[in-house]
Amino acid sequence: MIVASPETVATVPPLWRICWQQAVSALRRNRTQAAILGGSMIMLLGSVGVSGVNFVYNMVTARLLGPTDFGHITVAVTLLMFASAITLAFQLVCAKFVARNESLAGKKKVIRDLHKKSWLVSTLVALGLVLSSSAVTRYLNLPTRSIVLFLALGIWFYVPLGVRRGAIQGMCAFPRLASNFLLEVGVKFVAAVAFIEFLLHTGLAPAVMGAIAAITLSVIAAYFLPPLTPHLRARDPQDLVYACTPASAQEGIQAIVFFIGQVLITNTDMVMVKHFFAPREAGVYAAIALVGRVLYFVSWSLVSAMFPITASAQKPDANFSVVAVPLSLVLVISAGFVAITAMIPHFIMHLVFGAAFRMPSEGLLSLYAAATGVYALSVVLIAYEMSRKIANTAWLQLLFSGLIVTGIYFFHADLQEVVMVQLVLMSLMLVIVSLPFMRVHIRRVTRFVEERRTA
């Protein structure tokens, strides 16, 4: 029998102190999980509202314009989504460092510095799109160059919008963030219906321009409304020189790489289908993609709630179980979504877009939903790894976006082959992205077992 010495007994904390420390640690973990779950629910409800309005918007515009013009609108939105790689990078970096700075003055300085940089970047991007508008119009088979010019105006406001949303997200003001998304999609829907009806009756311009003008107007409205709360505006000169945790260039590059990969994965297929297939087939594929991407938008809202909370945690080895909340929600939602689209695909397409949007294959919709669901699971893991600096899998995502482009370039005999390329590559990426996650988890389990053996 081993008997402890008096010196050893004196250094062992009392039992009540050990129990108290464990209770406090468990309470902190539960608070973090509760905060993520609460924020996830708010963003989930907001995304349901946004998705609902988007569904109505797509349904109305598709019925008003038909497959060909609807394909033009969708590829125009895809161009805007390419710019969103920069927008979301600014949002992610702003949210992360606003959350990490404990002082209000430090938060203000981060917002102000990133806001100035975002306007510079947006000006360069918009100018580049204006100069290349003729080439873009020809490649995408668009009816008029004005579509690209209107989008350039929207992009000019779209990049700085990311900083404003990042400030709101970093403060964990999820109701305010959700309302901003709802405002954007609401303005887009109302303005699109009004503009399209006006142009259809007057013939002053192609009706598709009404939808494009509505998209640009919605971005501008989202930039100004709701305005940043007064306490986040840097008005005191001391705020501008206050020492803070700055937004590092390295993490900015990492965020840009992440969102470039994300945008390429979620939008390149539409651009390539628009180029390789006839306008009507491209329009049908655009409708299928929009239904499938509802799932991704819902998943991203859950990641938005998780990211600032995990990023603000002080301990580098913060409880890994917090990722289980958004991961489980995405898994359940994805499984349900795929099941519904597999059971009633034609009913969904007919109900939302009308009889003109007939799918060439019955399983195409559920196949696309499955590819989106697999990718959404990968995004949850990548975002968590970025927030905790566990691994830099954003570069891996960028690599797979290039593989998708290559795969679709060589395999596009029909629309189902295009979707199969994405499903296979997204499944492979999920396996690889999970490796750092599993490695850390196995290491912790091993350490726990060893501690129990030596106790």
Best-predicted range by mean pLDDT among 56-60, 214-218, 443-447?
A: 214-218
pLDDT for residue 148: 93
pLDDT for residue 312: 54
Residue 206, Ramachandran bin (φ over 0: left; ψ between -120 and 50: alpha; else beta)? beta
Among 145-154, 411-420, 428-437, name the one with the lowest average pLDDT.
428-437
Q: Of 204, 209, 196, whose CA–CA distance to 143 is shortest?
A: 209
Q: Are 150 and 18 in contact (CB under 8 A)?
A: no
Banded model confidence at residue 218, pLDDT cuts 50, 70, 90 = very high
Cα–Cα distances in angstroms (integers) from residue 375 to residues 191, 294, 337, 411, in the given order:
32, 13, 14, 20
For the segment 336-355, the average pLDDT, to the nearest whole number, is: 87
Structure tokens at 371: 């590819």
pLDDT tens track for 35-77 = 555 555 676 677 678 877 887 888 889 888 888 888 888 888 8
pLDDT for residue 12: 39
Residue 36, Ramachandran bin (φ over 0: left; ψ between -120 and 50: alpha; else beta)? alpha
For the segment 223-247, the average pLDDT, to the nearest whole number, is: 60
Contacts of 189 (CB under 8 A, 6+ apart): 53, 54, 56, 57, 60, 214
Best-predicted range by mean pLDDT among 32-41, 224-233, 306-315, 363-372?
A: 363-372
Q: What is the pTM of this model?
A: 0.68
For the segment 372-401, the average pLDDT, to the nearest whole number, is: 79
Q: Of residues 73 and 233, which shows the higher confidence score?
A: 73
Among 17-26, 94-103, 152-161, name the one with the lowest average pLDDT.
17-26
Within a 10 A sphere around the Cβ of 414, how many other Cβ atoms? Answer: 14
Q: Are 183 and 201 in contact (CB under 8 A)?
A: no
What proportion of the chain, given as a percentage, has pLDDT over 90?
30
Q: Of residues 372 and 315, which shows the higher confidence score?
A: 372
pLDDT tens track for 249-263 = 666 677 778 778 888
Banded model confidence at residue 197, pLDDT cuts 50, 70, 90 = very high
